[in-house]
Amino acid sequence: MSFSSPRPDGLEVRLRARPVGELRPEHFEFVHTKVREPGAGEVLVRNTWMSVDPFMREWMDEDAYAPPFLLGEPPAGSTIGAVVASGVPELPVGTAVLHFAGWREYAVLARDEVTAVDLAVAPAETRLGALGSTGLTAYATLTRLLPVRAGDVVYVSAAAGATGSIAGQLARHLGAATVIGSTEGAAKTRALTEEFGFDVGIDHTRGRLREDLAEAAPDGIDLTVELVGGAHLAAALDAARIGGRIAVVGAIAGYDTADPLPGPANIFAVATKELTVRGLAVTSYFHLAREWTELALPLLADGTLRSRHTVVEGLHRAPEALIALLRGDNLGKMLVRLDG
């Protein structure tokens, strides 16, 4: 197989330097490279949509919990694109595929590195958002890690983000009696109740998170989905009722700082309140992806589950999108549209 025209140039966003503390644009560089033809058993994909996720900042650190991104190479992340040249008969030109080789316009990938997806059933934004790892994180947390029980009072931090917004809605669907969420700013706080169906939205920037949680749940919180860490985890410990459960899923408050988040001073509440605290790494739950998709698709179709996206246009703005995500500027899932 060969290109019908000269090989195209492909833009790549590469990690230029490891950030120490706050991520900045100068930690990235932009490089144009010649795109090679795929061999037998390979496909050439032109990327169209790219997920932007908090873990990307963590994996830029040399001591990351997973193999870190390499300097001088594009980071990675969930991406959707179209096959433009193929050495795989069952993946002809035009096939939409999901893969992990983001932060670049073109990628040559082996057959086992891509999954064909039907964008007529669910568009790329939904595949990378509610049906992607963020939605799966919420599902695994609330059905396997610390399952929701009928009548639970549930609290979700970072509730207007990609995982939090799905977690709050899913908790309600699974039988929670009251769902409380915290976020930042008046607009996102309104979105919690008006769009995502939370009973109570709390703007934590008011500096009254402990007091607001006590007011929203005077008898205590049964289940917390913790996505922020630091002061938010401390507030969740205060608000938990005897025998409560806390799922530690993220700690985004500490991802973009030079120093680790301090542990909550009230950690002994785990003992005095006989709390269950468990952590989740979504990579341990990828086997639930099909199950989650089968549940979520009809809920998305009938409006029971609502998915929001913040879209940044153009691969050259991918660093900007990640920096904005770490600041909390997104409502719902942060995405980059490469062909915008």
Per-residue pLDDT of the chain (340 residues; tens, 9 = 90+): 444 555 678 999 999 999 999 999 999 999 999 999 999 999 999 999 999 999 999 999 998 888 999 999 999 999 999 999 999 999 999 999 999 999 999 999 999 999 999 999 999 999 999 999 999 999 999 999 999 999 999 999 999 999 999 999 999 999 999 999 999 999 999 999 999 999 999 999 999 999 999 999 999 999 999 999 999 999 999 999 999 999 999 999 999 988 888 889 999 999 999 999 999 999 999 999 999 999 999 999 999 999 999 999 999 999 999 999 999 999 999 999 997 4
d(CA 196, CA 309): 13
DSSP 8-class letter at 206: G
d(CA 236, CA 213): 8
**CATH 3.40.50.300 for the 133-283 domain, yes or no:** no
d(CA 302, CA 99): 28
pLDDT attached to residue 6:
54
Q: What share of the chain is helix, strand, coil (3-state, %, to 5)?
A: 30, 25, 40
Q: Which amino acid is at 192?
A: L
Q: Which residues contact 55 (CB under 8 A, 6 or more apart)?
A: 66
What is the CATH number assigned to the segment(s) 9-129+308-337? 3.90.180.10
d(CA 308, CA 318): 19
d(CA 257, CA 142): 29
Q: Assess contact for 172 and 146: CB atoms under 8 A.
A: no
Q: Which residues contact 227 (CB under 8 A, 6 or more apart)?
A: 156, 157, 158, 161, 163, 164, 249, 250, 251, 252
Q: How many CB atoms lie within 10 A of CB 1?
A: 12
pLDDT attached to residue 9:
86
How far apart, in Å, are the Cα atoms of 288 and each of 55, 140, 157, 254? 20, 8, 23, 28
pLDDT attached to residue 326:
96
Q: How many CB atoms lie within 10 A of CB 242?
A: 9
How far apart, in Å, are the Cα atoms of 40 and each of 46, 82, 85, 109, 235? 18, 18, 11, 11, 56
pLDDT attached to residue 227:
97
pLDDT attached to residue 262:
86
- Indicate the domain borders of the chain: 9-129+308-337, 133-283
Tallying the residues shown for the chain, one arrives at 340
Q: Closest Cα partner for 171 from 156, 187, 188?
A: 156
